[in-house]
């Protein structure tokens, strides 16, 4: 039985040469094992999901109750609303004063951290907010300016005009290096984690102090999965005692140069991981004729635009034209071909064109297998998507095989008790029953 409440089971803080603070294993950890499980110091639902996700349990629902005062927070039911109130009370007042403006996610999260520190929870965190890096010294002027604007917004947002004592109380509860809104907002943006749901869609942001110690690797030995706002860190490789634990801060499926650029801009360090040093994979990520994949590469921004606008018919048409022209001459594992095929899959699913969706979905799988050598949530979820399409189209044997492949991955990345793993187990059972029914129908 896995320990659910235990915060950090098998890890300790250490100083990692060249990287500063880090987290390492104290015991041998096997692939698939739960390494740590943590509740956030504070979290909030993403602004763009505010109307679809419960602000207490982070569940996505068709209908949610709305907080009658700020008209922003939404809840599954009165139970969720009641439990959320102690964390929402001060925020609600701030939101009301700012209506109809809604502060950005990082500003709302920073405010929630300030309020949480008024009554700090009793935990055994390995890393305090005071120690979190702000990277203000290594930041570009342009980025600093952006953060300064957020800091002014934060100051305005938490200012309690009717009660200046409270503002003082809130400020004095903060550790000294966080009293300046700029340094607090910088610490929040560099250290917070995106909270995602079962389909890996972003639903919120949260700060998990001990796990901020995790350093990045482009081929990490751990992955993070969420259950509501609870973060679960699981091993995807066998780990020896004293080995450093790593996660990837970014999407790992991209070229070395792209990853390095993103890590430097967003997280202010140069990655020296093994994958970056060898650059071995860049060759097959860009396999095929350059003239062909360049055509897909230049089209990506406009395709992304159509996706953001949810213009599914135009997106599907553009993708399918590209894939049948330049794309047809590229191997499955070419990165740009894969990205366009994935968007075609999204569009076809949105339009209910299941046969087409399945064709695109199946085309992505060889590349996913190749690019995710370790169990990875993205790979598991993609297999589950394809399996659901096969199931829906009554390709029962194929569906069962795909679900089985997904299950092997998700038992490791999500664990046996995660709702998505249970969901998958049920899907496999449905396939088996339907296959039995077909069999007996034939006799």
Q: Do residues 269 and 351 lie in contact, with contact meaning Cβ atoms separated by under 8 Å?
A: no
Query: Which of 50, 70, 299, 330 touches Zn ion (CB under 5 A)?
Result: 70
Q: Collect contacts of 193-197 with beta carbons under 8 A, ≥24 apart.
A: 193/224, 193/231, 195/43, 195/58, 195/226, 195/229, 195/231, 196/226, 197/53, 197/58, 197/60, 197/226
CB of 111 to Zn ion, least distance (A): 13
Residue 54 interacts with Zn ion (CB under 5 A)?
A: yes
Residue 330 interacts with Zn ion (CB under 5 A)?
A: no
Task: Closer to Zn ion by CB, 92 or 126: give it.
Answer: 92
Backbone phi, psi, residue 55, to 5°: -80, 0
CB of 91 to Zn ion, least distance (A): 7
90 C-beta neighbours (distance < 10 Å), count: 19
Quote the Cα angle for 60-66-69, to 5°.
145
- Return the range that interacts with Zn ion (CB under 5 A); candidates 43-51, 196-204, 265-273, 347-355: 265-273
Task: Closer to Zn ion by CB, 76 or 381: give it.
Answer: 76
- Return the range that interacts with Zn ion (CB under 5 A); candidates 47-55, 158-166, 193-201, 403-411: 47-55
Query: Which of 7, 9, 16, 57 touches Zn ion (CB under 5 A)?
Result: 57
**CA–CA distance, 419 with 404 (Å, rounded to integer):** 16
Task: Closer to Zn ion by CB, 73 or 170: give it.
Answer: 73
Contact set for Zn ion, span 143-172 (CB under 5 A): none
Task: Closer to Zn ion by CB, 70 or 349: give it.
Answer: 70
Residue 56 interacts with Zn ion (CB under 5 A)?
A: yes
User: In 242-394, where do the E strands start and end?
Assistant: 246-247
CA atoms within 13 A on the CB side of 341: 27
Residue 16 interacts with Zn ion (CB under 5 A)?
A: no
State the DSSP H helix or E strand holding residue 421, giving kind and residue range, or none if neither.
helix 419-442
Burial class (CB in 10 A: 0-12, 13-18, 19+), 82: exposed
Task: Closer to Zn ion by CB, 192 or 271: give it.
Answer: 271
Number of residues located near Zn ion, criterion CB under 5 A? 14
CB of 67 to Zn ion, least distance (A): 3
Query: Which of 80, 154, 233, 396 touches Zn ion (CB under 5 A)?
Result: 80
Question: Which pair of structure tokens corresponds to residue 307?
Answer: 């996706």
Nearest to 316 by CA among 352, 343, 297, 335: 343
Contact set for Zn ion, span 205-224 (CB under 5 A): 218
Task: Closer to Zn ion by CB, 67 or 349: give it.
Answer: 67
Query: Which of 67, 117, 225, 335 touches Zn ion (CB under 5 A)?
Result: 67
CB of 275 to Zn ion, least distance (A): 5
CB of 79 to Zn ion, least distance (A): 8
**CA–CA distance, 372 with 365 (Å, rounded to integer):** 10
CB of 162 to Zn ion, least distance (A): 17
Contact set for Zn ion, span 82-141 (CB under 5 A): 92
Q: Tokens 């059972």, residue?
A: 429
CB of 184 to Zn ion, least distance (A): 23
Q: Do residues 8 and 36 lie in contact, with contact meaning Cβ atoms separated by under 8 Å?
A: yes
CB of 269 to Zn ion, least distance (A): 10
- Return the range that interacts with Zn ion (CB under 5 A); candidates 67-75, 137-145, 342-350, 352-360: 67-75
Contact set for Zn ion, span 267-306 (CB under 5 A): 271, 273, 276
Residue 36 interacts with Zn ion (CB under 5 A)?
A: no
User: In 137-229, where do the E strands start and end?
Assistant: 193-196, 202-207, 215-216, 222-227
Task: Closer to Zn ion by CB, 93 or 369: give it.
Answer: 93
Strand partners, 22: 14
Residue 76 interacts with Zn ion (CB under 5 A)?
A: yes
Burial class (CB in 10 A: 0-12, 13-18, 19+), 172: exposed
CA atoms within 13 A on the CB side of 75: 14
Task: Closer to Zn ion by CB, 54 or 182: give it.
Answer: 54
How remote is the C-alpha of 129 from its chain's centroid? Answer: 22
List residues binding Zn ion (CB under 5 A). 54, 56-57, 67, 69-70, 73, 76, 80, 92, 218, 271, 273, 276
């Amino acid at each position: 039985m896995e320990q659910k409440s235990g915060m950090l089971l098998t890890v300790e803080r250490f100083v990692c040469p060249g990287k500063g603070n880090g987290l390492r294993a104290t015991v041998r950890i096997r692939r698939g094992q739960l390494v740590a499980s943590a509740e956030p110091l504070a979290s909030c639902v993403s602004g763009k999901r505010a109307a679809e996700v419960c602000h207490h349990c982070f569940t996505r629902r068709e209908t949610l109750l709305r907080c009658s005062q700020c008209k922003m927070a939404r809840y599954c039911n009165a139970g969720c609303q009641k439990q959320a109130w102690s964390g929402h009370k001060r925020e609600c007042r701030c939101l009301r004063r700012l209506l109809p403006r809604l502060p950005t996610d990082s500003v709302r999260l920073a405010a929630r951290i300030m309020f949480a520190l008024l009554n700090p929870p009793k935990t055994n965190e390995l890393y305090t907010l005071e120690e979190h890096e702000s990277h203000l010294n290594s930041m570009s002027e342009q980025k600093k300016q952006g953060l300064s604007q957020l800091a002014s917004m934060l100051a305005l947002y938490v200012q309690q005009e009717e009660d200046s004592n409270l503002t003082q109380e809130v400020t004095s509860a903060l550790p000294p290096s966080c009293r300046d809104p700029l340094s607090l907002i910088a610490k929040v943006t560099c250290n917070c984690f995106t909270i995602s749901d079962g389909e890996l869609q972003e639903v919120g942001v949260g700060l998990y102090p001990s796990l901020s110690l995790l350093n990045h690797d482009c081929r990490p030995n751990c992955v993070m999965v969420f259950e509501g706002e609870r973060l679960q860190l699981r091993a995807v490789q066998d780990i020896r005692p004293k080995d450093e634990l790593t996660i990837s801060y970014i999407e790992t499926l991209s070229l070395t140069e792209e990853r390095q650029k993103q890590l430097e801009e967003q997280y202010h360090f140069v990655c020296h991981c093994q994958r970056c040093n060898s650059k071995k994979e860049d060759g097959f990520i860009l396999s095929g004729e350059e003239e062909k994949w360049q055509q897909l590469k230049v089209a990506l921004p406009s395709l992304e635009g159509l996706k953001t606008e949810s213009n599914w018919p135009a997106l599907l048409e553009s993708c399918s034209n590209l894939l049948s022209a330049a794309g047809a001459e590229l191997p499955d594992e070419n990165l740009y071909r894969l990205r366009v095929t994935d968007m075609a899959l999204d569009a076809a699913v949105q339009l209910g064109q299941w046969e087409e969706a399945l064709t695109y979905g199946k085309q992505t799988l060889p590349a996913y297998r190749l690019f995710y050598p370790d169990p990875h949530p993205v790979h598991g979820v993609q297999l589950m998507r394809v399996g659901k399409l096969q199931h829906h189209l009554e390709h029962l044997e194929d569906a069962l095989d795909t679900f089985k492949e997904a299950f092997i991955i998700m038992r490791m990345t999500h664990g046996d008790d995660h709702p998505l793993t249970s969901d998958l187990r049920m899907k496999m059972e449905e396939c088996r029953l339907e296959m039995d029914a077909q069999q007996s129908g034939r006799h």
